[in-house]
């Protein structure tokens, strides 16, 4: 089984699941997963986990994400992006000064509560919200806490006299679970003008940026040339925030059978440690203070 992380460039027009399915076909392996859904009309960085690396998706997502895109003022849609139907418009507003836009962008910094859009993959009672939306059904959406670390305008906003809309580019740095579409519509609400996210690219995720990404063609060529190891990253990339312990033969024999390691023999006080043997990440262990040892949190390659 192939294990590792592929920093995929997801093109527009594909769902995240489409990407997973295509990679399964390319590498001939079922155990493949992504680390954070990207909408079909969004392109950019989508880390894909192969084999045992599917167990470290949560740790990849902890590093946060960075997006660049555009917001258009003047109308809003059912999907909060350009895929939906217009549900509200105001083409008679006075162009908003950039200084006021900046001030409003700053008001989103920090932690806040966000309600995900109806056209999203969030599950309620076992069904995706977009399934309810397509059926014309309304359902109470779960509130979630998000964190926005940066939300800035990247250029001078422009007003289009023909469409009577105002558009500007932005960059946002945020934690997992944040819907950028909803940030755009909430921004418009604060400005008193309907708004929509008119373009979006994820430029960073899981510690990878656009320069790190590979395309489906890159992946296909690497597989055919038997050079897949040249473009995938090891599990350790997702666990680089934890201390690594090199196991002895005796310790490895215990670990591969789910055995514990005492705090004294590990000579470490960290809450979590990565265990490596024969230059391969084998497990993630957590500290159990009460029993004075380290126990398995995640088990990887035990062969």
Q: Which CATH number covers residue 253? A: 2.30.130
Check whether residue 272 and residue 149 sit in a common domain: no
Domain count along the chain:
3
How does DSSP classify residue 54?
A: G
Check whether residue 246 and residue 268 sit in a common domain: yes
Check whether residue 44 and residue 170 sit in a common domain: no
Check whether residue 75 and residue 199 sit in a common domain: yes
- Whole-prediction pTM: 0.87
* Alpha helix segments (H runs only) across the chain: 16-27, 57-61, 98-106, 129-134, 180-191, 216-224, 249-255, 263-266
Domain end among 236, 254, 285? 236
Check whether residue 87 and residue 182 sit in a common domain: yes
Q: Is 83 a catalytic residue?
A: no
Check whether residue 32 and residue 93 sit in a common domain: no
pLDDT at 1: 83
Domain end among 193, 217, 236? 236
Active-site choice (18, 39, 212, 281): 39
Q: How far apart are CA 239 and CA 298, in angstroms?
A: 11
Check whether residue 218 and residue 246 sit in a common domain: no
φ, ψ for residue 139, nearest 5 deg: -145, 150
Domain hosting residue 161, numbered range:
65-205
Check whether residue 171 and residue 216 sit in a common domain: no
Residue 30 neighbours by CB under 8 Å, 6+ apart: 24
For residue 16 the two structure tokens come to 């995240």
Check whether residue 189 and residue 278 sit in a common domain: no
Residue 242 neighbours by CB under 8 Å, 6+ apart: 270, 272, 273, 274, 284
pLDDT at 167: 97
Check whether residue 21 and residue 70 sit in a common domain: no
Pairing of strands 195-205, 165-174: unpaired
Neighbours of 262 (CB within 10 A): 11
pLDDT at 144: 85
Query: 128, exposed or middle or buried, with CB in 10 Å at 0-12, 13-18, 19+?
Result: middle
pLDDT at 303: 67
In DSSP terms, which residues pair with 284 in a beta bridge? 274, 298
Check whether residue 39 and residue 131 sit in a common domain: no
Residue 218's CATH number: 3.30.2350.10
Check whether residue 22 and residue 83 sit in a common domain: no
φ, ψ for residue 147, nearest 5 deg: -135, 125
**Per-position pLDDT tens, the chain of length 303:** 888 999 999 999 999 889 999 999 999 999 898 887 888 889 999 999 999 889 888 888 887 899 999 999 999 998 899 988 898 999 999 999 999 999 999 999 999 988 877 777 777 777 777 777 787 777 777 788 889 999 999 999 999 999 999 999 999 999 888 989 999 999 999 999 999 999 999 999 988 999 999 999 999 999 989 988 889 998 888 888 899 989 999 999 898 888 898 888 888 888 989 999 888 889 999 988 888 888 899 888 776
């Amino acid at each position: 089984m192939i294990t590792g992380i592929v920093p995929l460039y997801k093109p527009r027009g594909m769902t995240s699941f489409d990407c997973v399915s295509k990679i399964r076909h390319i590498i001939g392996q079922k155990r493949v997963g992504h680390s954070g859904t990207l909408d079909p009309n969004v392109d950019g960085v989508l880390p894909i986990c192969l084999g045992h690396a599917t167990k470290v998706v949560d740790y990849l997502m902890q590093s946060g994400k960075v997006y660049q895109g555009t917001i258009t003022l003047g109308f809003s849609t059912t999907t909060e992006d350009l895929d939906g139907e217009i549900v509200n418009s105001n083409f008679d507003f006075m162009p908003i000064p950039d200084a006021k836009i900046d001030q409003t962008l700053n008001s989103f910094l920090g932690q806040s509560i966000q309600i995900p859009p109806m056209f999203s993959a969030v599950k309620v009672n076992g069904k995706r919200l977009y399934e309810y939306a397509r059926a014309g059904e309304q359902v109470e959406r779960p509130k979630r806490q998000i964190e926005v670390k940066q939300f800035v305008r990247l250029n001078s906003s422009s007003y289009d006299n023909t469409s009577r809309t105002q558009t500007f580019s932005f960059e946002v740095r945020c934690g997992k679970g944040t819907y950028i579409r909803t940030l755009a519509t909430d921004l418009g609400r604060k400005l008193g003008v309907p708004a929509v996210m008119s373009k979006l690219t994820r430029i960073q995720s899981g510690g990878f940026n656009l320069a790190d990404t590979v395309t489906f063609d890159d992946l296909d060529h690497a597989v055919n040339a038997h050079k897949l190891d040249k473009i995938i990253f090891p599990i350790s990339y997702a666990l680089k925030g934890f201390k690594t312990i090199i196991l002895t033969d005796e310790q490895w024999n215990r670990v591969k059978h789910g055995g514990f390691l005492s705090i004294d023999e590990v000579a470490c006080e960290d809450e979590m440690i990565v265990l490596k043997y024969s230059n391969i990440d084998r497990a993630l262990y957590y500290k159990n203070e009460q029993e004075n040892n380290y126990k398995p949190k995640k088990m990887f390659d035990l062969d």
